[in-house]
Amino acid sequence: MENLLTPAAVRQIAQEVFREQRQDLLKSLERQFRPLWAPQPMWPEWVETTLRELIAVQERTEQHIEELTEAQKRTEARVEELAEAQKRTEARVEELTEAQKRAEERLTRLEITVQ
């Protein structure tokens, strides 16, 4: 049977995906707010507005990080459950294979006895 991804592999993949998404978000924010860095006629209002917007983005990002962390924990737990189920399935397959071999041997002995 194929091996499932280990919890560590899943965690690494999730971290890489999150890192890429974070970089994309930072680049997007930089493009979005770059025009605001230049002095504006109403600089204090622009600064305040920009700061409020950045704080809101930061709060949403932190909330998203928390949600992703919780989702990652649930995913890791599910991966562990699936790995355990896979082990139980493999053990059961071995048991059934052995039982099949014993049954075939008995059948062969019965056929020999009948002949």
Q: Which pLDDT tens digit goes with each residue over 67-99?
A: 999 999 999 999 999 999 999 999 999 999 999
CB atoms within 10 A of CB 80: 14
Distance CA 92, CA 85 (A): 10
Distance CA 114, CA 110 (A): 6
Q: What local confidence, expressed as pLDDT, does residue 112 receive? A: 83
Mean pLDDT across 2-30: 75
The answer to whether residue 53 is domain-embedded is yes
pLDDT over 70 (residue 16): yes
Q: Which pLDDT tens digit goes with each residue over 34-68?
A: 665 555 555 677 677 777 888 888 888 888 998 99
Q: How many domains would you assign to the chain?
A: 1
Distance CA 23, CA 32 (A): 14
The answer to whether residue 1 is domain-embedded is no
The answer to whether residue 64 is domain-embedded is yes
Give the DSSP letter of residue 42.
T
Indicate the angle between helix axes 43-114 and 7-37, nearest 10 degrees.
160
- Domain range for 49 is 7-114
Question: pTM, whole model, 2 decimals?
Answer: 0.48
